[in-house]
Structure 1
Amino acid sequence: MDSFSVFGNPIKHSKSAEIYALFAHEIGISKKYNLKLAVQDNFNYLLHNFFNLGGLGANITSPFKENAYFLCNQLTERAEKARSVNTIKKLKNGTLLGDNTDGIGFISDLKRINWLDNNNQITSHEEEPITNILLIGAGGAAKGILPILLTTITTCHINIVNRTFSRAQELTSYYQEIGYKNISCLPLYKLRYDTNKYSLIINATTSNIHNTIPKIPYFLITPDTKCYDLFYTKQDTLFITWCKKNGSNYCSDGLGMLVGQAAHSFFLWHNTFPTIDPVINHLRSVFYM
């Protein structure tokens, strides 16, 4: 019986089992980790059956993170705020604890690549009292990173744009209602009139899967603009290629975030934090998309 699994659709491309195996080897743990393909009609059953048969922990990937949120008996504060779950731990009393490690994995990667300093401010050559962040997307990936962005980078203002504006409005309203005033949204087409200078632009959409890029104006990109794509491929993603073409000297894909969030999941399950950099380097050298 598998002790740990990741549930998603699609799932064949997932690197979660390989990452877990590398972490487990470092720590000296011998537990089985497998990939579980699910659909909306059977996800709830498969997840509960997994834990009923002895499963200890699960990762949840697209498109089931919001489903998993409602299946947990307890939630961490970051999962509660994100309203989505990517990590579940079965507690000793049999109840399920839901967490969301996407945000902390993202912040960990910003620090790893030196985009975030010791004061949790985005590194810059210019002195700005407020850091403007443009978040493209309002789905599960955006929801996972928003809580920690708002609470960690305290001098930031986050502007959300999304192809469906109503989803950006809904997300913005939720965070404003729970006390965060440094967040706003605007329709995607209005970015052409936007005069904000963005220190960090985050692509949290699935545009790469569809071989497209978000329709944002090229003039938002400057040499100092940091551009982060939550997606990752062996070569530069389409979004990163576009950002570099338009002048950004600071671009990163989401592989570091993937390994970072997995490390925090591993810590939740085993109370031991694994080493991240060797796993990132290994995946860079061998993985394919």
Structure 2
Amino acid sequence: MDSFAVFGNPIKHSKSAVIYALFAHEIGISKEYNLKLAVQDNFNYLLHNFFNLGGLGANITSPFKENAYFLCNQLTERAEKARSVNTIKKLKNGTLLGDNTDGIGFISDLKRINWLDNNNQITSHEEPITNILLIGAGGAAKGILPILLTTITTCHINIVNRTFSRAQELTSYYQEIGYKNISCLPLYKLRYNTNKYSLIINATTSNIHNTIPKIPYFLITPDTKCYDLFYTKQDTLFITWCKKNGSNYCSDGLGMLVGQAAHSFFLWHNIFPTIDPVINHLKSVFYM
């Protein structure tokens, strides 16, 4: 049977099947979409078995995006740069095409909530600021960095991470392939930093551990836009902290989740679904 699935661990919490069903209903197609729990020891086998038995497309979530990168026969440019894959399409010749739609989903959401203007500049109610602070250097950060660097070209990106060597590795990689608007610094040095940031992105798993990234409160101004890639029913801990310290512009990652899923759907079906009704449905069903 023609089918689609999402692979991850944990997976029960995933909204991917619901999102796919809503997109499919809008377009008028009927395809099976399942949740697949995997572990490191069997992920490769389960993924190949899925496609061998008729699977047409797969989403890959934590912690298998980097594994999936090495299992694909072909890669899109954004997957190649991110060195991780969250979407796979089985081509007509049987080979697997790997893509990463996290970044384009993120940018789509920034535009949806009017944080990016038509020229891909970060909107500001004060004088223009050209710095982005990216907290985290793991898979989530890797997924959004390529499109951040190529889309918001007037901004400089600072990466901070609990383990500084990972931030250094990520920064060096992008500098080596030609991007000069990226740098990193140790987390503790933020307390001495005089930069103002127009956008602060939490790409860590701090919410899972009921913590927040240890960044200075004075980095937050009323005009600072604070985006948490994580999402919960209520404000995430990071968003709660940002609001407490004065930010008037905060968003969680639900819109990005639906946005990246829409771009996956487009890769599979060559039709782009409508995003807003799905976001509203998820908020009404799962957030109330």
* Common fold: TM-score over 0.5: yes
* C-alpha displacement of 1:130: 5.6
Distance in 1 between residues matched to 2:121 and 2:128, nearest whole Å: 10
* C-alpha displacement of 1:59: 0.1
TM-score (norm 2): 0.98
Q: Which runs of 5+ in 2 are unaligned?
A: none
8 Å contact kept, 2:129–2:196: no
Distance in 2 between residues matched to 1:187 and 1:34, nearest whole Å: 41
* C-alpha displacement of 1:288: 5.1
* C-alpha displacement of 1:21: 0.2
Distance in 1 between residues matched to 2:253 and 2:63, nearest whole Å: 18
Distance in 2 between residues matched to 1:15 and 1:130, nearest whole Å: 35
Q: Cα RMSD between the aligned structures?
A: 1.1
* C-alpha displacement of 1:122: 0.2
Distance in 1 between residues matched to 2:39 and 2:2, nearest whole Å: 20
Q: How many residues are matched? A: 288
Distance in 1 between residues matched to 2:195 and 2:119, nearest whole Å: 23
State the secondary structure of the residue aligned to 1:150: helix
Q: Which runs of 5+ in 1 are unaligned?
A: none
* C-alpha displacement of 1:204: 0.2
TM-score (norm 1): 0.98
Q: Does 1:66 align with 2:66?
A: yes
Q: Does 1:173 align with 2:172?
A: yes
Residue by residue over 1:176-224, the C-alpha shift from the partner in whole angstroms, topping out at 9 and shown as x without a partner, is 0000000000011110001000000000000000110000000000000
Distance in 1 between residues matched to 2:247 and 2:131, nearest whole Å: 16
- Judged with a 3 Å threshold, the aligned counterparts in structure 2 of structure 1 residues 46 and 288 are, in CA distance, closer, same or farther, namely farther
Which 4+ runs in 1 deviate beyond 2 A?
A: 127-130
8 Å contact kept, 2:217–2:245: yes
8 Å contact kept, 1:101–1:261: yes
8 Å contact kept, 2:90–2:97: yes
Distance in 1 between residues matched to 2:106 and 2:274, nearest whole Å: 16
* C-alpha displacement of 1:131: 1.1
8 Å contact kept, 1:134–1:198: yes
* C-alpha displacement of 1:287: 1.1
* C-alpha displacement of 1:73: 0.2
Residue by residue over 1:50-90, the C-alpha shift from the partner in whole angstroms, topping out at 9 and shown as x without a partner, is 00000000000000000000000000000000000000000
Distance in 1 between residues matched to 2:26 and 2:285, nearest whole Å: 19
Distance in 2 between residues matched to 1:178 and 1:19, nearest whole Å: 35
8 Å contact kept, 1:130–1:157: no
8 Å contact kept, 1:79–1:85: yes
* Percent sequence identity over aligned pairs: 98
